[in-house]
Every structure is written in C-alpha cells, then in structure tokens.
C-alpha cells in the first residue's frame, strides 16, 4: 500500500514534488532542509515544540462525536476539532514549528502568505511569542472578505502587505512572499502555510501537521472506514492522512469545485513544486474560484498529487452552495460553526451519506480545520 514519503532528502513523491526555484534560493532551501532535519532529530527541539503545542496551542484537540448528524445521516461521524486550537485553526501547529526553526537558524524576520487569514494570524501569533518580525502578504480581494483576520494580524504586530496583482488572492500572495524571500534570504524565513512549495516545505509542513492524525488515531475507538478533510494546498489533510496512511481507512480529500486541481488540473509547476495544477490551454496557471479564501488556489500539495495518482487517496469536489448549506447544517445540528474551508469536507459527507461512496453504517473521521468566525460576513451576504 503506498504511504507517505519517508526519505526527505529526495524531495519527491513519485513524479511530483522537487524544487523549481531561482538559483538564488537553492542555498536557502538546502539550508532549510538541513536545519529541519537536524531539529526534527533533536529531542530538545521536539520537547520545546511539544510543550508549546500543549500549554500554548491547546493540544490535544478533542475528537467530538457528531451524534445528531450521525443519527440523521446513518453514519457514525467523529470530528477532529482543530477549530478549538489557539488562533482557531490547525495553522498554529505548523507555524510554531517553523517559527522555532527560524529562531534556531538565526533569522530575524518571518514572511508569510495567507488567503483566509488563518495562517497569517497564526504566523503573527508565533512571531509575537518568539520576538520575531512578521510580514504577511495577502491578496487585496481576500483582505476585503477577511477583515476580521486582518485586524487580528495587525493587533498582533504584523505588517500586512496588500497584493494587487493577478487574481488578488492566495496564489498572488504566495508569489509576492517568495519574491520578498529572494530579496532578504539571509535575514528572513519564508513561513509557508501549506504542503506546497519547493522541497523541504511539503515534507516539513506535513511532519509539523501530522500531530492531527497521530492524535486522532490514538483518540478514535476504532480505525475509521473513511478519513476526510478539505484540501486546498492540503496541509490539514496531509497531517490527518499521516496518522492513517498505514491503515485500511479510505483517505478522502475534498476540494472546491472552482479550485479542483486534482479533478480538473494536470501536471505542472506552481510555486516551486511539480504537482497537479489548474492550467489554461497554453499551459499557464489558471485562476481558481471558491467562496472559501483558503481554498482559492490553483494547485495542490505534491504528496496529495502522488497519493491520488497511485489510488491511495481519492479527491472529490463540492460547490459553493453545498458549502454554505453545510456550515448551517452543522451549526444547527451540533452547535459548531466551522470555517467555509472545513465545510467542504462536511458538505461531501452530507451529500454522499447513504450512497455508494459513503454507505449507511460507515464510520467517518472528519477534520474540522478551523472555526467560522472569519466567515460571518460572507455567510451574511449569501443569506
């Protein structure tokens, strides 16, 4: 059974991954890979990160039985509650690790990209905690629809840089963050929020997020039939899948219909890695579209592309109206308001429960990657 990459030096997941960056960034990527390999093997680093995750980030997050939805749908649904972690999403797991690594490497600044703002908030939080400067690049369109998170970032002391090029969303914010890294590679660390980008980021971010899957596996009273999570770049899904890749559980990633790189893309390079990418007829990266800013991205992490290509994971998509309905259904059934991103996974379960993809009686573990406070204005507009 194909599982997750265990040889990080290669930086490859089958035919995906690698490092496609300007020559000026190769030494920085090499140094980062070496630094993370050393830190991850250092018991003192792991202990410091573990302590922060426990006493600062609030881990372990609970595994909550969704009893009312389970009864209504005819499946047994467990929710891994990353929405209850400090800052309101799974992003804190990765940023605490990378911020500690940046400090260990002697970096003074962190640079981050953000779409929904959750990664930006988490990066600003870790920077404040560890005494680092933080600059967060965010598309102008996302700034407009995620004002709450912009205010949270600036309150935490971060500089938020509006990105006005291209689609003015996550792809363009990532472009600008990488350009800033090229210009200040000696003093700054690029704190990438997902499992995309050049090696070592896909491996490093997955390892920092695997706490989700490891916890969920130990908390669950059984090995689920299906493990499901939303996927944009795919860090919460990669972290969740890491805990179950060596089990018989089906691994299901749910994309936005307007950003479904696995369903509608083809192999290509975006932000330094070869993966599945939305492209136009000329091979240029196409624009994605989603009601969820965090999934408004034309690519997917290369490990997801690999797992999908060999059949170990499956990827489906849902439409915006299904996502909105899922937020409301979960809120009214369980009293939990999840993020629009997380609601993609919920929407898939709601749609497929009782059908051939999710038969009655299935045991489902679903990662709620974040809470929905940030999306109230968007939900109000589509009421």
What pLDDT sits at residue 335? Answer: 98
Confidence of residue 319 (pLDDT cuts 50, 70, 90): very high
pLDDT in tens, 38-55: 999 999 999 999 999 999
Beta carbons of 137 and 115 less than 8 angstroms apart? no
Confidence of residue 7 (pLDDT cuts 50, 70, 90): very low
CA count, 13 A, side-chain hemisphere, 239: 29
What pLDDT sits at residue 10? Answer: 67
Q: Which of 49-58, 291-300, 349-358 is least confident?
A: 291-300
Is the pLDDT at 1 greater than 50? The verdict is: no
- Please state the rounded mean pLDDT for residues 249-277: 96
Is the pLDDT at 352 greater than 60? The verdict is: yes
> Which residues are marked as active site?
91, 113, 369
What pLDDT sits at residue 294? Answer: 87
| Burial of residue 360 (number of CB atoms within 10 Å: 0-12, 13-18, 19+) | exposed
What pLDDT sits at residue 9? Answer: 53
pLDDT in tens, 325-341: 999 999 999 999 999 99
| Domains of the chain and any CATH numbers | 14-52+91-190 (3.40.50.1100), 60-89+210-381 (3.40.50.1100)
Is the pLDDT at 8 greater than 90? The verdict is: no
What pLDDT sits at residue 5? Answer: 46
Beta carbons of 189 and 35 less than 8 angstroms apart? no
| Burial of residue 269 (number of CB atoms within 10 Å: 0-12, 13-18, 19+) | middle
**Residue among 222, 374, 250 nearest 311 (CA):** 250
DSSP state of 299: B
Confidence of residue 4 (pLDDT cuts 50, 70, 90): low
What pLDDT sits at residue 296? Answer: 86
Give the residue carrying structure tokens 């997050």: 61
Beta carbons of 138 and 112 less than 8 angstroms apart? no
Q: What is the pTM assigned to this prediction?
A: 0.96
């Amino acid at each position: 059974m194909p599982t997750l990459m265990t040889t990080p030096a290669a930086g490859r997941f089958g035919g995906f991954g690698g490092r496609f960056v300007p020559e000026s960034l190769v030494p920085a990527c090499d140094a980062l890979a070496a630094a993370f390999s050393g830190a991850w093997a250092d018991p003192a680093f792991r202990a410091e990160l573990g302590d922060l995750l426990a006493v600062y980030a609030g881990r372990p997050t609970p595994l909550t039985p969704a009893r009312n939805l389970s009864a209504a749908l005819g499946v047994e649904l467990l929710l891994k509650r990353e929405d209850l972690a400090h800052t309101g999403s799974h992003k804190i797991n990765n940023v605490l690790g990378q911020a500690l690594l940046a400090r260990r490497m002697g970096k003074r600044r962190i640079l981050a990209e953000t779409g929904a703002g959750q990664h930006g908030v988490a990066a600003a939080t870790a920077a404040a905690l560890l005494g680092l400067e933080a600059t967060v690049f965010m598309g102008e369109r996302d700034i407009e629809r995620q004002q709450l998170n912009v205010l949270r970032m600036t309150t935490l002391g971060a500089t938020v840089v509006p990105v006005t090029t291209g689609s003015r969303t996550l792809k363009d914010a990532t472009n600008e963050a990488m350009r800033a890294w090229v210009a200040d590679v000696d003093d700054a660390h690029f704190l990438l929020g997902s499992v995309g980008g050049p090696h070592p980021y896909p491996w490093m971010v997955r390892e920092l997020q695997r706490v989700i899957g490891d916890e969920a596996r130990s908390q669950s009273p059984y090995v689920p039939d299906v493990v499901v999570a939303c996927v944009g770049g795919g860090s919460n899904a990669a972290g969740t899948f890491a805990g179950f890749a060596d089990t018989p559980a089906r691994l299901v990633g749910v994309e936005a219909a307007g950003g479904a790189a696995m369903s509608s893309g083809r192999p290509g390079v975006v932000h330094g890695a070869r993966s599945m990418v939305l492209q136009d007829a000329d091979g240029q990266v196409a624009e994605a579209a989603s009601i969820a800013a965090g999934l408004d991205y034309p690519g997917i992490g290369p490990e997801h592309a690999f797992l999908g290509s060999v059949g170990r994971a499956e990827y489906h998509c849902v439409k915006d109206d299904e996502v909105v309905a899922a937020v409301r259904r979960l809120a009214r059934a369980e009293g939990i308001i999840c993020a629009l991103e997380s609601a993609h996974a919920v929407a898939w379960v709601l749609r497929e429960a009782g059908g051939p993809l999710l038969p009655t009686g299935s045991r489902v573990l679903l990662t709620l990657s974040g809470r929905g406070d940030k999306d109230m204005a968007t939900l109000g507009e589509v009421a």
